[in-house]
Amino acid sequence: MPPPEPRTLFDKLWDANLVEPERADAPAILYVGLHLVHEVTSPQAFAELNQRDLRVRRPDRTYATLDHSTPTLPPAASGARTYVTAAAAAQVDQLRANCERHGVRLADWDSHDRGVVHVMAPELGLTQPGMVVVCGDSHTATHGAFGALAFGIGTSEVAHVLATQCLLQRKPKQMRVTVDGRLGPGVSAKDLTLAVVNRIGFGGGSGHVIEYAGDAIRVLGMEGRMTLCNMSIEAGARAGMIAPDETTFAYLRGRRHAPEDFEAAVAKWRAFVTDDGARFDSEIQIDAATISPMATFGTTPDASIAIGAPTPSARDDSERQALHYMGFAAGAPTTDHAIDVVFVGSCTNGRLTDLRDAAAVLRGRRVKEGVRMLVVPGSESVKQQAEAEGLDRVFIDAGAEWRLPGCSMCIAMNGDFVGAGQLAVSTSNRNFEGRQGKGARTILASPATAAASAVTGKLTDPRAFLEAAHA
């Protein structure tokens, strides 16, 4: 009998959660282990269930939080929240009512669990290896860092998962990105992420699920792995994932929703790795030692270069339009331009390690006069831990604003936005025209780069600041 065909991590995850295989006339049906819900993409989905008198199939595998529309300013003395619009407040109220009606757990304003959906779920141990994770949010790929198959889904799919706990999917292609070697001092997971997205291209991963592998990936902590998987969608991929290992297991151990028989779970999770000899539809190799602190110069996340390098010449009309919108000139570095706003936060870089990186640069320094800096923790847990370590005082003493958890300026739905024409250095995931406010111009970068740029008033390589901090 011939030996079994080597399988990839994705093959194993797909098969482990397969309810019905794909046919020519129908997609495959996958069982969903965790469905995450927030206030923006769920109202229409719940409305469909209510109209059809359907119940949520597995409320125990569904978890909701408030994040996108929520203000990051504290409530007024009366206790009233400062929602930017009545519609934003209505979204929150509607989610609260829907969760109560269907018995879905909700991290509400008074919950210590509340936070950005892709930050708080891993913190609680809800995200686990081997499961399919879905959410009505494009950056659900974040959860692939745990060896999960994590998809962002549309509103109609949200309704379908609520009603059936299943997802219809055509099997995508597979890509492996192997990053060998080691990142240099002062080079972060966000820099690695921007380099990977640049290498793949804005649509280069279209139709694929990406597995990240290699020595440089294995030495990343879970926070860095989540940052990398989070931005898989920015390369056009359907999802991103990393095989679980001891780092994964150590992170999950003791979390509230971790399996009761944890060792038995770990024994099962160890099988979710790519077999030697397994084949991918495409392969990319990157040397980590070649990566420097990175930042974007255009209006797509793949348009990035090493900080201080000359801006590349535009190759077509869309790239010329992007340079014009950003106010940059080909051949000139982006480090010559004064910045107006710095944002540290989001589901990409709103975790405790991200805040520590920013604080390491800001400690004992001041944000440059005329620059506004907003620091928004990714969850209540992150906020509490940061305050216990005194990070909030570092930010406040430097002249930055310390806010309540939420998506905030990443998507500018809650009143936190970059003004028209202003230039921002942001730790978020998208630099599209108007993403952070109408007419806003965005440079994507790491938390350390964002903090260094806040101090100097222009895009700045953080390594000199970090070297001084450790001298």
Q: How many CB atoms lie within 10 A of CB 282?
A: 14
**Mean pLDDT rounded to a whole number for the chain:** 97
Three-class SS of residue 196? Answer: helix
Distances (CA, A) of 441 to 68, 372, 413: 20, 14, 16
Q: Kindly compute the dihedral angle of the four CA atoms of residues 288, 231, 248, 382, in this order, to the nearest 10 degrees.
A: 110
Fold for 9-169, please state it: Aconitase; domain 3 (3.30.499)
Spatial neighbors of 238 by CB under 8 A, at least 6 apart, are 151, 172, 205, 207, 208, 209
Residue pLDDT, tens place only, 119-172: 999 999 999 999 999 999 999 999 999 999 999 999 999 999 999 999 999 999
What are the residue ranges of CATH 3.30.499.10 in the chain?
9-169, 295-470
The predicted structure's pLDDT at residue 3: 74
Q: How many CB atoms lie within 10 A of CB 425?
A: 29
Length of the chain: 471
Give me the helices (H) in 136-292, please: 155-164, 189-200, 215-218, 222-230, 246-252, 262-269
Spatial neighbors of 348 by CB under 8 A, at least 6 apart, are 139, 190, 227, 230, 231, 410, 427, 428, 429
Which of 33, 64, 3 lies closest to 272 in space, CA to CA? Answer: 33
- Grade residue 471 by pLDDT with cuts at 50, 70 and 90: low
CA distance 423 to 161: 40
Q: Exposed, middle or buried: residue 424 (CB in 10 Å: 0-12, 13-18, 19+)?
A: buried
- Taking the whole predicted model, whether its pTM rises above 0.85 is answered as yes
User: Token digits for 202?
Assistant: 């804005």
CA distance 377 to 179: 29
Which of 346, 298, 334, 332 lies closest to 198 in space, CA to CA? Answer: 298
The predicted structure's pLDDT at residue 233: 97
Residue pLDDT, tens place only, 345-371: 999 999 999 999 999 999 999 999 999
- Grade residue 470 by pLDDT with cuts at 50, 70 and 90: low
Segment 295-309 shows an average pLDDT of 98
CATH class of 295-470: alpha beta
Of residues 471 and 217, more confidence is placed in 217
